[in-house]
Each structure stands twice: as structure tokens, then as C-alpha cells.
Amino acid sequence: MGSHDFSPSNKSMIRPLISAGFFIDVFNAKLVNDKIKLLYTQEMKTGIKLTGIRARKRSLEIEDYQHLDLQDIESEDGIKIFLFHTMLAELKPKEYKDMESSPKSLLPKKFIYYAGGHLHKTVPEKLREGNHTLKIDEKNNIIYPGCLFPTNFLELEKFKYGGFCIVSGEVDSNKNSLQVKWIPIEIKQVNSINIDCNNKYISQVQEIINNEISRNQFQDKIITIRFHGTLSSGKSYEIKSDNIIHKIKKKGAYEVLINKSYLSSKEYGHIRVVVGKTNEEIENTLIHNHAQKIKIQNLSKVQIEKKIYILFEILGKEREEGTKVKEYENEIKQNFLKIFELETVDKEHIDEIQ
């Protein structure tokens, strides 16, 4: 499960897909003496054994790696593949520098291939180049295929389409001839238009976009339009997005996305904004900054930040069928006390916690 598939209430859409036999969940674990012991799923045709660590929201699964029974996992005989959904610090692209990550050393050893998820970018990038294949060996055995399809404006603008990897070849205890190939999934063609608004009037910008609309074909395409620069006069909202979208869709476009995050005006003062970030990255930054200002006795800033994420996970748990509202609320309150190590709070004060 990826971080968006995981559900603390166990109600992920993945569950019915597993029950219907479409998916096999290879994250199969049990707790033995405070250590996580991973069990293996064996593919019958090849005999290859698969296991891995599912994701949790806010990369909380990183803590699970620290409790793995590595000796048990690594001593398993046979040819093994490890699946994971965590960003590794050593492979982190520069543009994802703020993303939570963990060192490669947390991964268990003695696997022939590590199938990675979470990062919406193909790593190594050269897999996306033409018909490129990569030989799998001890130095190149961790692969991120990226997302199946871009999920936001930035990804559509940069990547255009997503894909997946196929690993093939022969492998046994004596040799390994595995190769990985990236397979593109181009569902819709993406056309990106950049409008330089620097030192231009609103009327000039409108003329440029009207010319772009007139000379381009948009039939069944996804269109991204980025306005950037500093207007010499006027305000960004005077560029009517709805009108632009209507005109382009009238020419048959499948979808139109407009971005003005890099557009400013000389009529405005400086405003602090975060551009080029996803909602999750902005949220992570805000949580980090606020955690630095919070003081809780005996807890470090790092611990407070982690506990905030755990609290979000608890608050995301839905009320189980048959559970009374009062019982559900009390459970959340008790979990709050436990997370922030406040079990000693007087019982009469528990109801004050909202």
C-alpha cells in the first residue's frame, strides 16, 4: 500500500481489490518480542519470494524499519524481492529536498531487487529515455518507476505522462541477468503553454493568449497554461481563467489547467508565498515550523513533529460500525493523551480536551 492507499481504519479501497483476488498484499508481518517479523509470499511460477513494508501517511512507516527483525528477514533462503514505499535519502532528487526520507541502510540486505514507490519521479531518470533498459546488479537494484499518471499541474507540465517498470531475465542462485525497462502510459497528450507576462499590460497578455488559442490544436488534449513574470500594470485576477478555459474547451480540449503562482504585479507589495510545492509539501513545512515553537516537557522538537503526524493518523480513523459516538470520542481523547505522554492528566480534565 502507498501512503494514499493506507487507512488507519482499515477501509482502504485496496481491501476489496485484495478480497476479489485482483491484488496480493505482500506486506505480511507479525510482532515477535517487540520485533517486526516479515513473512514471504512466494510466486509459484518462478519461486521468487516477495515481502516488503507498506506505507503510512506522513512517512510514519520509517519507524517500522527500525523495529525489523533483520536477522530473520535476511537469513531467508531463495531469490527475494523487497517492495517499499519510502523515499531513500541517497536517491532523493534535489527538487524533493524537503521530503521525509530514510537512509538506504534501513533496507534489509540480500534481496536481488528493491521495488520503490512514493516518489512521483522515475529514478534513475535515464529509464525514461527512449527504449533504455538497465541491468540489475548490486549497484543498480533500487528502482522508482514514478507515478502511473501525473497528479498535479507541476507533474503534468514536467513529465507529461507516467509509467511503470517491467523486470525480466533469468535468475538463480548462481547468476542474475535481470533487466528493468520503463513502460510509458500516455493516456492523453499534454501540451504546455508558457506566457511571459513580464513588463506587459493585461491587454497585451490577453492578446498573446488569444493568439495561442487561435494557432494551436487542442482536440482531446490536456492543456497546461503557466503565466509568469511581473505585470507592468493591472492585477492577475484580471486575466480571466474561466474565459480562457471555455475558449480552449470549445476547441475540443479534454482538460485545461491554469497556474498563476509565478505571476505578480508592480501594483502589489511583496507577499510571502510558497510556489512550486505540492499541498503535502506546504503542509509538512508548516507543521515543521510550528513544531519548533511548541514546548512540551521532556519532548524534543523532532519528537513533537513526529507526534503531530501520528495524531493526524489517529484523527483520520473513522468510527467503526456499531461503535457509539461517546466511545469513539473517548478513544480519540485517550489516544491523544497517550501520544503526548499525558496519561497522568486528572480524569475530570479529560473532557476538557477537544
Asked whether the predicted pLDDT for residue 197 surpasses 80, the reply is yes
Alpha-carbon distance values, 46 to 36, 144, 171 (Å): 27, 23, 9
Compute the average pLDDT of residues 72-79.
Answer: 94
Compute the average pLDDT of residues 303-328.
Answer: 81
Higher pLDDT, 10 or 3: 3
Model confidence at 235, in pLDDT bands (50, 70, 90)?
confident
Compute the average pLDDT of residues 104-114.
Answer: 93
Question: How confident is the model over 162-179, as pLDDT tens digits?
Answer: 999 999 998 876 677 899
Residue percentage of the chain with pLDDT more than 70: 91
pLDDT at 265: 84
Asked whether the predicted pLDDT for residue 308 surpasses 80, the reply is yes
pLDDT at 250: 96
pTM for the complete prediction? Answer: 0.72
pLDDT at 348: 46
Compute the average pLDDT of residues 97-116.
Answer: 90
Higher pLDDT, 183 or 234: 183
Model confidence at 326, in pLDDT bands (50, 70, 90)?
confident
Average pLDDT of the residues of the chain: 86
Give the single-character DSSP code of 40.
-
pLDDT at 183: 96
Higher pLDDT, 14 or 134: 134
Residue extents of the structural domains in the chain? 14-185, 190-265, 279-350
Return d(Cα 198, Cα 204) in angstroms, integer: 11
Asked whether the predicted pLDDT for residue 122 surpasses 80, the reply is yes
Asked whether the predicted pLDDT for residue 259 surpasses 90, the reply is yes
pLDDT at 350: 43
pLDDT at 344: 52
Question: How confident is the model over 278-297, as pLDDT tens digits?
Answer: 677 778 888 888 888 777 77
Give the single-character DSSP code of 102.
B
Scored b (16 or more CB within 10 A) or e, 46-82 reads eebbbbbbbbbbbbbbbebbeebbbeebeeeeebbbb
HSE value, Cβ hemisphere, 13 Å, CA-based, for 281: 13
Question: How confident is the model over 138-166, as pLDDT tens digits?
Answer: 888 999 999 999 999 999 999 999 999 99
Asked whether the predicted pLDDT for residue 270 surpasses 50, the reply is no
Alpha-carbon distance values, 304 to 136, 294, 317, 339, 341 (Å): 40, 8, 20, 10, 11
pLDDT at 297: 74
Asked whether the predicted pLDDT for residue 8 surpasses 80, the reply is no
User: Which residues lie closer than 8 Å to 87 by C-beta, 6 or more apart?
Assistant: 59, 96, 99, 100, 101, 102, 118, 119
